[in-house]
Amino acid sequence: MNTHTSILIIYTGGTIGMIRDLKSGSLKPFDFGDLYTHFPVLRNFDFHLDFHSLDPLLDSSNMTPPFYVKLAEVIHERYDRYDGFVVLHGSDTMAYTASALSFMLENLSKPVILTGSQLPIGVVRSDGRENFINAIEIAAACDGDCPVVPEVAICFDNMLYRGNRTTKFNAENFSAFLSVNFPPLAEIGVHIKYRRDLILPPATEPLKVHRELDNHIAILKLFPGITPEAVRAILNTNGIRALILETFGAGNAPTFPWFLQMLREAINKGIILVNVTQCKGGTVEMGRYETSAGLQAIGVIGGADITTESAVAKLMYLLGDGYPNQEVTRLLQTSLRGEMTV
């Protein structure tokens, strides 16, 4: 076997890593250390695979910023030894982790491909095998010495998406993820068809890992009939530094005087407010309608077509890096890792 190309597989937990015990009938963690026994087809690949399991393994619902840091450090510590990385992760919060890694891993020049499954890898109809094998092949793909996909991406159900553009939208179908506002980076069929015009170029500077994440943020999803008490409770959360407003349509919100006044007072106290649409697709257009002009007038920041998952990760990254509010405001309206269309 040619070992010139090396891929590190990092298991964090989640459905993909489960296999049924023949004696008890229950699901237990899969032994990825015995990859070639369970996946003999991997011997056909012309590269070397290593495996690393994070401790403790976590259901993706239990992911936290310290876990993102641990994952980023594993990649950083082994960055010079491997040509690409495959992260096995629970699907429920995969889009949040992919978004976080995209900001934390500045100057990335190698693939970091996240994948998982809707059914355990040990189940007969599991989608995990195909997702796993596709992710490995993509992480190893290169043109000469240059990787084809030198960015953080999610590989799921024969599609490859930019990680910070994705949202999980289905809990049952194998096609669990959407990237409505940005086309797939690749489609996987008989051949893998890469959209090279969309894929970010590899960085030329050394990898820089951002380990400080500030999660003193909140999300306020608007709904018809929302009360002043509910809005006040969120805005008065102890220590809150930023709030993501999930608004209607193209960034619209109630024009009630009490609502705008509460937001204005929060901004005056130094809380950063970002306007993100509740819709799966489309963009925030501040001032297009009267119902968003009021938000714009008091200093709410338009999030364009960024996803909520990416907005959460971007705020954690910017606040953690210690930028002053004025700079955070500017950077929130700037595409740093291809996370938004400006």
Q: What is the CATH number of the domain that holds 265?
A: 3.40.50.40
pLDDT, averaged in runs of 10, over the chain (342 residues)? 78 80 69 69 84 88 95 97 96 96 98 90 78 94 93 96 95 88 96 96 96 97 96 96 96 94 96 96 88 90 96 98 96 97 90
Q: Does a structural domain hold residue 338?
A: no
- Which of 15, 93, 247, 283 is catalytic? The answer is 15
Do residues 193 and 224 both lie within one domain? no
CA 289 to chain centroid, in Å, comes to 30
Do residues 167 and 197 both lie within one domain? yes
Number of domains in the chain: 2
Residue written as token pair 């090279």: 196
15 is catalytic: yes
Q: Does a structural domain hold residue 341?
A: no
**The pTM is what?**
0.93
Domain that holds residue 36: 6-209
The tens digit of pLDDT for each residue in 143-171 reads: 888 999 999 999 999 999 999 999 999 88
Do residues 177 and 302 both lie within one domain? no
How far apart, in whole angstroms, are the C-alpha atoms of residue 275 and residue 297? 13
Radius of gyration of the chain (CA): 21
Do residues 311 and 264 both lie within one domain? yes
Residues 239, 216 contacting (CB under 8 angstroms): yes
- Give, in order, the Cα–Cα distances in Å from 261 to each of 153, 230, 296: 40, 14, 13
Do residues 226 and 279 both lie within one domain? yes
Q: Does a structural domain hold residue 270?
A: yes
